[in-house]
Structure 1
Amino acid sequence: MVEGVAHSGGRPSHEAAEELDRTVIDVATTEFMSRGYAATSVERIAKVIGCSKATIYRRYPSKKELFRAVVHVRCQGMVAILQDGPETMPDPMDAIKDMLRRFLDFLLVPETVETYRILIMDCQQFASITADLDAAIEPLHQRMNMLLGKVLGWPDTPRNRAEISLMEMSLRGLVTGWPLHQMLSGHTPFANEDEKHRFFEASWNVLESAVRQRIASGPPA
């Protein structure tokens, strides 16, 4: 039984119910990430917690819905990236750099990597959950697009917005693509924090140079 989860019978208090909700998500996250989706059972999660399967099914009608809730919690962590820092920075390039650095850190968390791995392994089964993840990431794209638009100084037209969106995806991939691919492949991309810092700064220099070139060339004709 997980420490702190007690069962004395009767209707649980609001506080006890909230604590149990958190415990279910925490244990489910650990089980899904360590065992994978297929090898994880609601029965196993209930056993680790020390509750009945019915207790979990009252909250989540299926294993898939429980996994959806786990992904939702990971998404909340991603959204938190948007809440501190960038808006207090007067230079939009500084804000972009800060956001990308924190986004890279978030992507390299083992739970995040394993979530991506599970979704990729059976993308058809998890299509709706993947859509939830995409929707959760959308504010990050919008913020990056807004900041990049400020840096470029282009007129706000549909064509320019589309071009900025393509640039944002390309530039973000420059920083995050290789490390995430390494993690998904079972490799450790960086031996230590210093190595990760050097990679980020090198990627940022390339990104910054690309943005300067687009400023010089101007918006699409």
Structure 2
Amino acid sequence: MAAEKGAVAVRVGRPSKTEQGDASARIIEAATELFASRGFAGTSMEQVASQCGAGKDTVYRRFPSKVALFETVVEHAHKRAIARLERLPDVDGDALERLRGLMSELLRINMEPDLIALKRITFSEAVSFEKKSQIPPQPDPIMKRLVDAVSDAQDAGLIAAGDTHLIAGHLIHCLVALPTSAAMLGSDEFDGEEAVRAHFERTWNWLINGVRAGSPA
């Protein structure tokens, strides 16, 4: 029998991969917002479902537990950071200027409030996590890019020879880890773009030029 005119077509069968992906993306977006604003303990799977307009069963089919959902949120945040770095426009100048531009963008990304909140949860709730989530997850392609940038600056004779991984680690610690750790602990020392920029400029100059009397400020 032909379908009646004006009848609404009802899809039969499983959702398409596109529909499944869209649903997962909405869940992750909602969960990111809730974890960042309410913390791990203050966020429930029911709240995530309500926030993204999905059924609780839909959320649980994709993420069997709140821990699994949080771990996916962490992985998504890191992939988002990688994508931002890949879109970073080429920096005019030599290899040292390119390294400087990369470090500056890494600092901006890591100081974003939602990433600070996710890091705080990761460290404060680590005992609850099955996979021992890390931010960033390991191995870290962002760190590889930084190591390559250090190597390029060394090859150009713009920074001293030495262990590239060690130098990259010190750059991350001084320029990024110090302010993000302070923010995670609730300090307002680096609140606002101006405070973050001032930290970067001051610390970069110390690292590159040294702190010995007579060195350029």
TM-score normalised by L of structure 1: 0.76
Number of the residue aligned with 2:167: 167
Q: SS in structure 2 opposite 1:133?
A: coil
Higher helix share: 1
Q: Aligned AA for 2:136? A: L
Aligned residues: 196
Within 2, Cα distance between the matches of 1:72 and 1:205? Answer: 33
Deviates more, 1:86-95 or 1:163-172: 86-95
Q: Aligned AA for 1:61? A: P
Aligned: 1:177 with 2:180 = no
Within 2, Cα distance between the matches of 1:114 and 1:143? Answer: 25
Matches within 5 A, 1:53-202: 53-85=56-88, 91-126=94-129, 128-131=131-134, 133-135=136-138, 138-153=140-155, 163-202=163-202
Within 2, Cα distance between the matches of 1:152 and 1:18? Answer: 43
Within 2, Cα distance between the matches of 1:150 and 1:114? Answer: 33
Q: CA deviation at 1:127?
A: 6.3
Matches within 5 A, 1:4-19: 11-12=14-15, 14-19=17-22
Q: SS in structure 2 opposite 1:128?
A: coil
> What's the C-alpha RMSD, in Å, of the aligned pairs?
2.7
Q: SS in structure 2 opposite 1:124?
A: helix
Within 1, Cα distance between the matches of 2:120 and 2:130? Answer: 14
Within 2, Cα distance between the matches of 1:166 and 1:92? Answer: 18
Q: Please say if residues 147 and 168 of structure 2, whose CA atoms lie closer than 8 Å, have aligned partners that are also in contact.
A: yes
Aligned: 1:47 with 2:50 = yes
Match for 1:30 among 25, 29, 33? 33
Within 1, Cα distance between the matches of 2:30 and 2:66? Answer: 13
Within 2, Cα distance between the matches of 1:51 and 1:192? Answer: 35
Structure 2 stretches lacking a partner, 5+ long: 1-9, 211-217
Structure 1 stretches lacking a partner, 5+ long: 1-7, 155-159, 211-221
Q: Aligned AA for 1:120? A: F
Please say which structure displays the higher CA radius of gyration.
Answer: 2
1:185–1:142: structure 2 CA closer, same or farther, 3 Å change rule? same
Q: CA deviation at 1:20?
A: 2.1
Percent of aligned positions with the same letter in both sequences? Answer: 26
Q: Please say if residues 86 and 95 of structure 1, whose CA atoms lie closer than 8 Å, have aligned partners that are also in contact.
A: no
Q: Aligned AA for 2:114? A: E
TM-score normalised by L of structure 2: 0.77
